Amino acid sequence: MKLLLLCLGLTLVCAHHGENHDVVTSNFDMSKISGEWYTILLASGVKEKVEEQGSMRMFVESIQALDNSSLLLKYHKKINGECAELIFVGDETEEEGVYSLSYDGYNEFHVVEADYNDYVIFYFLNYHNEEITQGMELYARKPDVSPQIKKRFEELCKNHGIPEENVQDLTNAVPSECFLPRSPCHPVTSSVT
Ligand SMILES: *[C@@H]1O[C@H](CO)[C@@H](O)[C@H](O)[C@H]1NC(C)=O
């Protein structure tokens, strides 16, 4: 009986731990964001931007936190019917954890939530010709994530006023729309010679 209770207790502890995972919502360690990612969901206040031909519709390959606090971001995207690689450097702004980069105007972005080994959610603002558009992106370490995380992302979008119909699932779009083989090696963060 005692043993049974102990087992039950342990199960509860484990179940509770599994629920929370290691979700981080502030003070992000950007070096832990480094590595390979896959685009899962994309959302924009302007739906066309995440639809086919849209400027924001791109597939992340990797993110690397550089020593000078900038981020190196690699994507691929269909441009004029061809698959192209896009490489950006996002520089940290005066605000810690907020990055800027030039693409389709000017953008500022930051991490909203992450489980470094599973997923990361970005929020960004795009400034283009006097227009400001907000957007959100869900990236995962694997080509797909659990439905719970997708639901969580949709909730966060809704909280920012981005309707569910502006959320695009890109998990099945990659091979048909734009496929570039990934490099077999992981990016090297520092070289020791
Ligand atoms: C950091 O280094 C990268 C790559 O050398 C460079 O493109 C970027 O502008 C640098 N960032 C800053 C803030 O100097």
Range 35-177 has CATH code 2.40.128.20: yes
pLDDT of residue 175: 73
Instruction: Assess whether the C-beta atom of 144 lies below 6 angstroms from ligand 1.
Output: no
Nearest to 38 by CA among 130, 172, 189: 172
Is the distance from CB of 110 to CB of 123 less than 8 angstroms?
Answer: yes
Q: How many residues does the chain have?
A: 193
Q: Closest ligand 1 atom to the C-alpha of 89?
A: 7
Nearest CA to ligand 1 atom 6: 89
Question: Which helix or strand (DSSP H or E) is residue 155 part of?
Answer: helix 147-159
Instruction: Assess whether the C-beta atom of 91 lies below 6 angstroms from ligand 1.
Output: yes
Instruction: Assess whether the C-beta atom of 89 lies below 6 angstroms from ligand 1.
Output: yes
pLDDT of residue 176: 76
Q: Where are the domains of the chain?
A: 35-177
Q: How far is the CA of 130 from the centre of ligand 1 (A)?
A: 27
Written as one string, the DSSP assignment of 55-84 is TT--EEEEEEE-TTS-EEEEEEEEETTEEE
Instruction: Assess whether the C-beta atom of 191 lies below 6 angstroms from ligand 1.
Output: no
119-147 per-position pLDDT tens digit: 999 999 999 999 999 999 999 999 999 99
76-120 per-position pLDDT tens digit: 999 988 899 999 999 999 999 999 999 999 999 999 999 999 999
Instruction: Assess whether the C-beta atom of 64 lies below 6 angstroms from ligand 1.
Output: no
Tell me the pLDDT of the chain averaged across its residues: 88
Instruction: Assess whether the C-beta atom of 65 lies below 6 angstroms from ligand 1.
Output: no
* 7 pLDDT above the threshold of 60: no
Q: What are the counts of helices (DSSP H) followed by strands (DSSP E) for the chain?
A: 3, 10
Q: Closest ligand 1 atom to the C-alpha of 91?
A: 13
Q: What is the CB neighbour count within 10 angstroms for residue 97?
A: 13
pTM of this prediction?
0.85
Q: Closest ligand 1 atom to the C-alpha of 92?
A: 13
